[in-house]
């Protein structure tokens, strides 16, 4: 599916979550991504400007291997699988919910999505704060911290939600704190 087709699909999307298979991942774009975050599970949001359509897109993704877990979370929250023939399931899966309203996607972007380093974005409800991430939502690293603060940073780092780059930046920042004698 091309980016133009995805944008058109999501522009007309009033109550569904479309999960598109791309390689070994399922991705949800724009309104579908908003619904996954609001109704099913928080994720880190990626943000990308697509030159061919002169528009930004937002998306979340998860490995195909974890689809069953996501499907069970969706079912537990009242969502139902509405389209999944064997041929379609290879490319797109659609979830629907009878009680879905028509949310204001543009307002959601303005109030919930914040740009972070590297073109990534994260939503407010997401309890995710790597050292390279949300500057507005996370307190800045201060030097002269006590050793217990370093331990707390390590214990509180959300490794299960971090990308390899986030983990590497986190370790780098810890190293800088130790190297600069701030421990």
Tens of pLDDT, residues 87-112 = 455 688 888 887 666 677 888 777 76
pLDDT tens readout for residues 27-43: 999 999 999 988 888 88
Inter-residue contact 166 to 132 (CB < 8 Å): yes
* Residue 183 in this model has a pLDDT that exceeds 80: no
**Helix H segments across the chain?**
3-11, 30-35, 67-76, 86-89, 105-112, 147-156, 164-179
State the SS3 of 44-91: EEEEEEECCCCEEEEEEEEEHHHHHHHHHHHHHCCCEEEECCHHHHCC
């Amino acid at each position: 599916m091309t980016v133009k087709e995805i944008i058109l699909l999501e522009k007309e999307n009033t109550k569904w979550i479309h999960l598109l298979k791309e390689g070994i991942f399922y991705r949800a774009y724009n309104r579908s991504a908003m619904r996954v975050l609001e109704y099913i599970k928080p994720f880190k949001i990626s943000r990308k400007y697509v030159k061919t359509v002169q528009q930004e897109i937002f998306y979340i993704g998860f490995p195909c291997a974890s689809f069953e877990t996501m499907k069970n979370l969706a079912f537990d929250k009242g969502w139902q699988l509405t389209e999944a023939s064997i041929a379609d399931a290879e490319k797109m899966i659609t979830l629907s919910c009878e009680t879905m309203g028509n949310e204001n996607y543009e307002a959601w972007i303005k109030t919930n999505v914040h740009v972070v380093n590297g073109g990534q974005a994260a939503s407010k409800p997401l309890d995710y704060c790597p050292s390279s991430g949300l500057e507005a939502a996370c307190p800045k690293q201060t030097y002269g911290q006590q050793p217990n603060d370093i331990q707390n940073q390590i214990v509180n780092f959300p490794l299960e939600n971090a990308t390899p780059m986030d983990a590497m930046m986190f370790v780098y920042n810890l190293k800088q704190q130790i190297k600069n004698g701030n421990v």
